[in-house]
Amino acid sequence: MLRFIVRRLVQMVGVLIVLSLLLFLWLRSLPGGTVSAILGERATPASRAAMEAQFGLDQPVWVQYAKFVGRVLQGNFGPSTAVLPGRDALDIFLQRLPATIELSLFALAIAVALGIPLGYFAARRKETFLDNASVVGSLIGVAVPVFFLGFLLQRVFAIELGWLPVSGRQSTGLDATRITGFFVLDGILTREWDAAWDSFKHLILPAVTLATIPFAVVFRITRASVLEVLDEDYIRTAESKGLTARIIRGRHILRNAMLPVTTTIGLQVGALLAGAVLTETVFGFAGVGDALATAFRLRDYAVLQVLILAAAGIYVIVNLLVDIMYAVIDPRVRTR
């Protein structure tokens, strides 16, 4: 098991090295560029050259890459040029990460809390109204564009009804203490209940928006998986033992049906943490996805490099955790 984990981590380093090179070349081949993005139309050849020299962009790409790698090995990803000019790019990422984690976990909680029970009941009542309705519902969940749903929810619940805030992570004017950067958690830790509640309300709409796709995926996988397990001989054995419906559901159906669902949830965590660009942009939620959109628009290479490499790293690590978890819950994998 330990050898397996070490091997995967070594693989991850390889992935990151290759990705960093591709990313470096790809970013610099994009039309426009840092300097045009900052100076805009008023750029003169002289001011362009001066700024290119300032950021080292006048050197050949391979020299830039070598310098980049040298800096990164010392933990320095370079200064941001546009998102927060002058700030260390890594700092920007670390400062944005808690918001994204908070949002992702909340969205995932919604997706799992609804997707698994609904998937189970849809499978048990296959081809009934409940089943058909939830299958169609989950299809809509996947099919409706995130930005459309986001604007719709904003319009109805924030603007028309005024129940929830339109955007942001916390109301301005709330002088909340920051400890972890997870605003809800901070509010609870400092017993600033109004701040916690306020942050929670800010989370609801973006989290619901973000949850639609993982919900649909978890629902469908659960339904398909339960249907498959229901046909298994061991379920008939469990019934022949006269066990209660509760034990058959928990111990015999769900414990088996959850195996593929676990993998799916893990992959969704990876995807969510890598940045919910659209959702965060719509709701002005200052997380990684929002930073990614800004950095891309303003060609902030340093920030983009950190964010994309971090997303890849997170993805690989989450996948590794899923594999480990799989071994924990499936004895057949464990003893192999």
Contact by Cβ (8 Å): 187, 193: yes
Collect all residues with Cβ–Cβ distance below 8 Å to 160 and sequence separation of at least 6.
none
Length of the chain: 336
The candidate with the shortest Cα–Cα distance to 213, out of 284, 111, 288, is: 111
Q: Which is nearer to another protein, 257 or 286 (CB)?
A: 257
Q: Tokens 């790809």 appear where?
A: 26
3-state DSSP assignment of residue 88: strand
Q: Which helix (H) or strand (E) holds 151?
A: helix 146-153
Minimum distance between the CB of residue 260 and another protein, rounded to whole angstroms?
A: 13
Of 93-101, 206-214, 233-241, 291-299, the segment contacting another protein by CB under 8 A is: 233-241
How far from chain centre, in Å, is Cα 105?
Answer: 8
Name the token pair of 254. Answer: 């769900």
By the rule CB under 8 A, 232 interacts with another protein: yes
By the rule CB under 8 A, 170 interacts with another protein: no
Minimum distance between the CB of residue 293 and another protein, rounded to whole angstroms?
A: 43
By the rule CB under 8 A, 237 interacts with another protein: yes
Q: Which residues of 218-250 are buried (b: 16+ CB within 10 A; e: fewer)?
A: bbbbbbbbbbebbeeeeeeebeeeeeeeeebbe
- Distance between CA atoms of residues 209 and 196, nearest Å: 21
Minimum distance between the CB of residue 331 and another protein, rounded to whole angstroms?
A: 4
Of 52-60, 66-74, 199-207, 227-235, the segment contacting another protein by CB under 8 A is: 227-235
Pick one of 196, 252, 271, 305: the residue that binds another protein (CB under 8 A).
252
How far from chain centre, in Å, is Cα 206?
Answer: 12
Of 6-14, 49-57, 175-183, 234-242, the segment contacting another protein by CB under 8 A is: 234-242
Pick one of 45, 145, 173, 331: the residue that binds another protein (CB under 8 A).
331
By the rule CB under 8 A, 240 interacts with another protein: yes
By the rule CB under 8 A, 299 interacts with another protein: no
Pick one of 236, 284, 297, 328: the residue that binds another protein (CB under 8 A).
236
By the rule CB under 8 A, 242 interacts with another protein: yes
Interface residues with another protein (CB under 8 A) are 232-234, 236-245, 247, 251-252, 255-256, 259, 329-332, 335
